[in-house]
Amino acid sequence: MSIPKYNTLTIEEKSAITWIVLDRPQTLNALSDELLTEFSDVLRILKTEGAPVIGIRGAGRGFSSGYDISPEAEEIGGLGRRNIIEERTRLREKIECLMPLWDHPKPTIAAVHGPCIAGAVLLASLCDLTVVADNAVIGEPTLPIGGGFMEPFWAFLLGPKQAKMMALDPGARFNAAKAVEWGWANFSVPHDELVDAVEKLSSRIARVHPDVLAVKKSSVNRYYEDRGIRSAFISGAETDALLHFSEPVRAMSESIRSNGLADTIKRFYG
C-alpha cells in the first residue's frame, strides 16, 4: 500500500480495516491545518487502496479536542489578516477536508474515547458509524467562538431541543450512554475493548462486496441529502465566518492571542 508517512497521522493496516490514527496527543489531537490536509490526502488514497473499511481513532487520552485554537494556530492567529470573504473561503476549505468522509465509497467508523469536542464531533458525525468507549465525553467548546459547523448535525441527529441545548449552552457535554440513547453513536463498549470491538465490526462488514457497501451507504446518504443536510453543512462556513467577525468573538480571539486559551476561558466564563 503506497501511503506516505505523515506528520500528524499514523496509519495502521489490518485485514478488514485501515486505521487512521489522529496522532497529536500533546495537543489532545487538535485538528490543525496540517492534520486536515493530511487527513484529506489519506482518504483520497484509501478510495482505491487499503482495507474494505476505514476506522478513525485518536492517540493518547482522547479522540480530539477539535479545531486547533491555540494562540499560534491559523484559526486564531491569522484572523486579523483576513477579511470576511477570505475567512469564508478558508472555512469552506476546512469543510472540504472532511466531506470525503461523507462521500467516501468505503464504510467509515469513528472509534471515540475520552474527549471528542467541537470540530472533532463533526468529524465523528460524518463517519457512517460511531462506536464510543464508556469514558467518551462529547460536546461543544467552552468558548463559543464559532457557530454553524455542528449545529446542523445536532439537529439531524439529536432533534431540535437537544440541538439547541448543545448550541446555546457554552461547553455543553454528554456522555457515552447519552450518545447512544440520543442516536449520536451506535453502541458503547468498555474503554479497553474499543479497538477490538470496531475491528470485529469491520470484519463482519468486510464480508460484503465493496460495490454493495458503496451503494447501501449512498442510499442512506441520499435520503438525508434530499432533506438538506449537505447544504446545511456547507452553510456552516458562512455562519462561522460571520461570527468570527462579530465583536464578541473577535474579543475572545484577541484574548486567546494575548493571554492564552486557559486564561481566556477563565476571563469570560470564570
C-alpha to C-alpha distance for 202 and 129, rounded to whole angstroms: 10
Q: What is the mean pLDDT of residues 84-95?
A: 85
Q: Kindly tell me the sign of the dihedral angle through the C-alpha atoms of 208, 230, 9, 142.
A: negative
- Strand-pairing partners, residue 19, are 12, 55
75 DSSP 8-state letter: H
| Total-model pTM | 0.91
The answer, yes or no, to whether residue 80 has pLDDT greater than 90, is: no
The answer, yes or no, to whether residue 48 has pLDDT greater than 70, is: yes
Residue 69 backbone dihedrals phi, psi, to 5 degrees: -120, 30
Q: What is the CATH number of domain 9-269?
A: 3.90.226.10
Where does residue 215 rank: exposed (0-12), middle (13-18), buried (19+ CB within 10 A)?
exposed
What digits encode the pLDDT tens for the residues 166-204?
Answer: 988 888 999 999 999 999 999 999 999 999 999 999 999
- Strand-pairing partners, residue 131, are 111, 187
C-alpha to C-alpha distance for 34 and 73, rounded to whole angstroms: 11
The answer, yes or no, to whether residue 30 has pLDDT greater than 90, is: yes
Map out the domains of the chain as residue ranges: 9-269
C-alpha to C-alpha distance for 54 and 52, rounded to whole angstroms: 7
C-alpha to C-alpha distance for 129 and 126, rounded to whole angstroms: 9
